Amino acid sequence: MPTNSSSSSVITSTRFAIFSVVFLCLVLQIINSLPGITLNGLGIYPRSVHGLIGILCAPFLHGSWWHFASNMLPFTVLSWLICQYSVKRFYTVFIFTALMGGLLVWAFGRSSFHVGLSGVIYGLWGFILCYGVVRRSLKSIVIAVVVAVLYSGFIWGVLPQRFHVSFESHLFGALSGFFLGYKLAKSDKLKAR
């Protein structure tokens, strides 16, 4: 009986963690779509004091409904895979990649507003791949292989291809995820010993 209760609690907290982010993005996209309202000025604008607020706001804002929709599925899948370690691990990766990736975009990105969840998505992707390679447990390897197969095309997103796409968010999100994946995998290996 405790196992079922514990399992149900984990599933509930996983759903809450993922869908609270999706819901917030949805609400902001609805507001952003209303006539005369544009929230994207709260995105990251590199090297400007005003643009610093974007480090907190940018992941939840999207340029269009297509932009919003194209981010939700990979975010949900990658988040759910990280929640297989723990919901706390998901929050750690989400917050770290949003803040570190956002700060790097602010420092080095093109002079334009950068918005969208894709920087965090690339952070989740980078984390899973690096963690699996460094940690080398059966679970981490299986999750990394699944992500490598499903999202192998992400590698091209870190390169400048289309002017309106923030490859900087993808690149710095992925680097932040790789860094955190490496650090946590090393730490987890030491604990396992």
Q: Which amino acid is at 122?
A: Y
Question: Under a CB-based contact definition with an 8 Å cutoff, are residues 114 and 105 in contact?
Answer: yes
Query: What range defines the domain where residue 142 resides?
Result: 2-192
The CATH number of the domain holding residue 135 is: 1.20.1540.10
110-137: per-residue pLDDT in tens? Answer: 999 999 999 999 999 999 999 999 999 9
* Distance, CA of 17 to CA of 12 (rounded, Å): 9
Report residue 83 as tokens. Answer: 């929640």
- Give the total number of structural domains in the chain: 1
Query: What is the pTM for the complete model shown?
Result: 0.93
Please give the full DSSP string across 52-87, using - where no structure is assigned.
Answer: GGHHHHGGG--SSHHHHHHHHHHHHHHHHHHHTT-H
11-59: per-residue pLDDT in tens? Answer: 888 899 999 999 999 999 999 999 999 999 999 999 999 999 999 999 9
Please give the full DSSP string across the chain, using - where no structure is assigned.
Answer: -HHHHHHHHHHHHHHHHHHHHHHHHHHHHHHHTSTT---GGGSB-TT-TGGGGHHHHGGG--SSHHHHHHHHHHHHHHHHHHHTT-HHHHHHHHHHHHHHHHHHHHHHS-SS-B-STHHHHHHHHHHHHHHHHHH--HHHHHHHHHHHHHTGGGGGGGS---TTS-HHHHHHHHHHHHHHHHHHHHHHHHHH-
Confidence band of 187 (pLDDT split at 50, 70, 90): very high
156, 161, 165, 169: CA torsion to nearest 10: 50
152-165: per-residue pLDDT in tens? Answer: 999 999 998 888 89
